[in-house]
Amino acid sequence: MEIRIMLKRFMRIIIPEKDRILLKVILLDMYSTIVIITELMNIWNITLQALVVSIRAGLLTE
- Work out the average pLDDT over 22-47: 92
Q: Give the pLDDT confidence score for residue 15 in this predicted structure.
A: 74
**pTM of the shown model:** 0.55
CA separation for the pair 20, 33 (Å, rounded): 20
Rounded (10°) CA dihedral 8, 11, 16, 21: -60
- AA letter at 7: L
- Work out the average pLDDT over 10-30: 82
